[in-house]
Amino acid sequence: MQSFSIITLALFATKATLGFTTAPAFLIKQQQVMTTALQATRPDTAVLVEDALKATAAYGIESAEARVAWDIVEEADASDNSVATLPSMDEECSVEEQEAIDAKCEEYGRFLDELNSIRSSMSVLDDKNNKLSMVETLKNIKLKEPEASKVISSPELTEALEDARTATSKFGATSPEAALAWEAYEEIASSGLQNSMGVRLDEECDIESGQDICEAMDELQRVLPVMMAVASKN
């Protein structure tokens, strides 16, 4: 019956953690079963266990009153050697040793199921809280704003961009005229950036600078696969 005392104490601790205002119905019923069994085998500690349960329910599992009450129960258990001769509920309820499970064992099984369910709920709650904590941490991270590089649009680049857009609108995105116009624009844009800044055009687009050039490059990347496919067929 010592295992019952430990499990019952664990359930009261779970109740305090989850914020129950009253003990669950199955726990109250199990307390009655346990108290009856204790009175039948160990009348000297049955009252002490009942007092400890009442103190735990009234003041909380971490209260001084509950700790003192359970200390008294443990001392009484330690002084009673008859506990070692009593079989545990796991042994009494072994399916292999019994053809049928009696009412007490069924109650014990439901009791363990409830305990496992509460433990699983607490595990899910802890995992959810950890995820929420991680989200809050990420929200508080201050990202450094990228420094915009200076990109000067030349008249040649502007003219090439207009020619490419006009060719695309007039002859179609897959036309040879549009392909040549966009290639010319790409050469001017890439050459200008490499000579003046020493970096690639797509690297500048990654840091959101040279807005007009980046938009044109995006459009080129969108239509270029189509143009290449048409060119390969011709």
For 132: left if phi > 0, alpha if psi spans -120 to 50, otherwise beta; the answer is: alpha
Q: Is 145 among the domain residues?
A: no
Same domain, 127 and 31: yes
Q: Is 71 among the domain residues?
A: yes
Domain boundary among 139, 164, 186: 139
> What pLDDT digit, counting tens, does each position of 167-199 carry?
888 888 788 888 888 888 888 877 765 554 444
Same domain, 129 and 22: yes
Please give the tally of structural domains in the chain: 2
Q: Is 220 among the domain residues?
A: yes
CA neighbor of 75 nearest in space, from 53, 101, 49, 50? 49
Q: Is 144 among the domain residues?
A: no
Same domain, 23 and 133: yes
Range from 29-33, 36-40, 42-46 that averages highest in pLDDT: 42-46
225: its two tokens: 């696969």
What's the pLDDT score for residue 64? 87
Burial state string for 211-232 with b = 16 or more CB within 10 A and e = fewer than 16: eebbebbebbeebeeebeeeee
Same domain, 20 and 53: yes
Same domain, 63 and 169: no
Same domain, 24 and 90: yes
Amino acid 144 reads K
pLDDT-derived band at 121 (thresholds 50, 70, 90) equals low
Segment 46-64 mean pLDDT:
82
Q: Find the domain containing 16 and state its range.
A: 2-139
Same domain, 20 and 129: yes
Domain boundary among 96, 113, 139: 139
Q: Is 146 among the domain residues?
A: no
The rounded distance, in Å, linking the Cα atoms of 132 and 148 is 34
DSSP state of 84: G
Same domain, 90 and 167: no
pLDDT-derived band at 129 (thresholds 50, 70, 90) equals low
The rounded distance, in Å, linking the Cα atoms of 214 and 193 is 12
164: its two tokens: 């490419």
Same domain, 79 and 11: yes
What's the pLDDT score for residue 197? 46
Q: Is 88 among the domain residues?
A: yes
Domain boundary among 86, 115, 139: 139
Segment 141-158 mean pLDDT:
59
> What pLDDT digit, counting tens, does each position of 88-107 carry?
555 555 555 555 556 666 77
Q: Is 52 among the domain residues?
A: yes
Q: Is 76 among the domain residues?
A: yes
